[in-house]
Structure 1
């Protein structure tokens, strides 16, 4: 049962990666499995940093990206990660690039301009390309071009790439212009396109036990039985796992309950080897999972990027 893994390990591809806004590392799962070497990772959130360190080691640092000395960051082939996206969310206040978190987008650009990696991968919410925020998005693409990058971007639905979840996110990939090519987004592997449903990824998991500490079990099987609004179906992909997933949807089984953290991890295509430490609160665990990049999507992007960079250097 604990062998769930949608990100099979690929051979080392020789690429070094600096990960910014790394969260708990769901995206890192995919990039590492694609064969890349993440040499440094940064995040501001202490719980996310704790989760990342627990799963990947000590190359993670808790830091405010606005305060960090850019010269102290390592030079790497790739910079990966998207700034926190709440200011661009359709569901949020929509402050955009003027919001405190929105401003991090420009700091991200500043770091790429200074470091000039061969490539960068930027992930964000679909709200970034809505009418309200499209001028910001277009300005950002223009700036990436100005600092020397050929840009490709696409709205990717995780369900099209073998993930049992309808999750749409904007991915922007920049390739340094002197490398002479533009990134092409990968096509889904055979059998992946709109195929995986909840039954495929969570049916074998045990029912959670309710415990006095809110059902907080080790290995992330706990739940605290909060009621939710809409019952999901085993025969369909899950709705988008959000940072506040505890409130929105109920498990498709007979008992009305919310999804456990482990179920949410599975729906995010994270392998069972990824475990959130027990001393992180349940609400923080849900937040880490909901804010993460679907691991299998990161695996796809990481593989495609490595292949295309290798082809360009031959």
Structure 2
């Protein structure tokens, strides 16, 4: 989506059928496939004109919220990276990766394997730019990537990159949500050093412990540098989106006494105690939007909280907190998971613009990114035929529809 708003064409490879349906509805060319299979047997289907490789390997096994298999295997995965570059037997590498338990952990190596495939395939050029994104726990792996790509040794055949690794806070780029991401940018030499995108907003810092109040994180005007704007709040983002033409957002239920002054209770508890779950005010950025965003409880006041009368964010509202356009055509099932899995498009625009053009997205590009263009049904059908036309090549059982459950006899 960031590429689209910056004027670049792209093609996606997506395992999840539901995410594919959303992409088809949005007019985004997508192949419904396993990235490993595409690399091994269908690499020729990717146009040779593709110059940029972007990837976000699944984060669950590395993230704090996941089962932690990836974090425990970090040192082992580093070893695999070196083995691939040094030209070790890939079948043996795959066997050892499989033994790690969580197959998603191995996918963090796919961007490297795609680069090696491009280098070793006749008629292909190495990617000019590589952009990878993950949870902060993966930063040690990105640093290994950066070191190897900068050396050009082994199977890289002398192909070198200028590299940089960043930890970026989303609220510092105008995203109404706190979320830290680890980003690797690698660029072929000749374009200068790779610098991180300059921040545009203040960080959100919330004090915890005794004496902390709901107003913590709100900086007085005297503490705001002139070059930085305050972070964007949930109320600001939702209110602006609700006023756009054709917006599906109706935030009137969140308004009290003429303004939005709700608070959100996180779906994550502290030691399983719901009373210790975090809170965010409407005047603050949202918690990190995860696939469980629909479980967050929204209250207008303390009386509703005591009575446990709460609301939920809708899918379009959750998308807006991720900086998706208000009218983005979410489709398929598991839409909350789709929203939570995504990179905030606004952050993506800052990263891609810096990596590809060396500057920040323009004000006009950022403004245009608040609305998604209408996509004709015929275009969606054509993209589905392109991405899923031969369902035998889609991931196994991905198009299998479970029969409806029968109600038990009385």
Q: Which TM-score band applies after superposition, normalised by the shorter structure?
A: 0.7 to 0.9
Confirm or deny: 8 A CA contact 2:146 2:165 kept in the other structure: no
Whether 1:67 aligns to 2:37 is yes
1:83 aligned residue: 57
Give the TM-score taking structure 1 as reference length: 0.73
Matches within 5 A, 1:138-177: 138-145=143-150, 146=152, 147=156, 148-177=160-189
Confirm or deny: 8 A CA contact 1:44 1:63 kept in the other structure: yes
Q: CA RMSD in A?
A: 2.5
Q: What runs of 5+ residues in structure 2 fail to find an aligned partner? A: 71-76, 78-99, 119-125, 202-226, 243-248, 254-264, 268-276, 302-308, 360-410
Confirm or deny: 8 A CA contact 1:45 1:62 kept in the other structure: yes
Counterpart CA distance in 1 for 2:144 and 2:355 is 24
Q: Which of 94, 99, 105 is equivalent to 2:68?
A: 94
Give the TM-score taking structure 2 as reference length: 0.57
Counterpart CA distance in 2 for 1:235 and 1:227 is 16
The size of the alignment, in residue pairs, is 252
2:17 aligned residue: 46
Displacement after TM superposition at 1:143 (Å): 3.2
Counterpart CA distance in 2 for 1:202 and 1:259 is 10
Counterpart CA distance in 2 for 1:114 and 1:273 is 38
Between Structure 1 and Structure 2, which shows a larger proportion of helix residues? Answer: 2
Counterpart CA distance in 1 for 2:266 and 2:18 is 25
2:320 aligned residue: 266
Partner SS state of residue 36, structure 2: coil
Counterpart CA distance in 2 for 1:65 and 1:265 is 26
Confirm or deny: 8 A CA contact 2:129 2:187 kept in the other structure: yes
Q: Which of 18, 31, 35 is equivalent to 2:3?
A: 31
1:55 aligned residue: 26
Whether 1:112 aligns to 2:115 is yes
Q: What runs of 5+ residues in structure 1 fail to find an aligned partner? A: 1-27, 210-225, 310-314
Partner SS state of residue 37, structure 2: coil
Displacement after TM superposition at 1:54 (Å): 0.6
Partner SS state of residue 338, structure 2: helix
Counterpart CA distance in 2 for 1:120 and 1:199 is 35
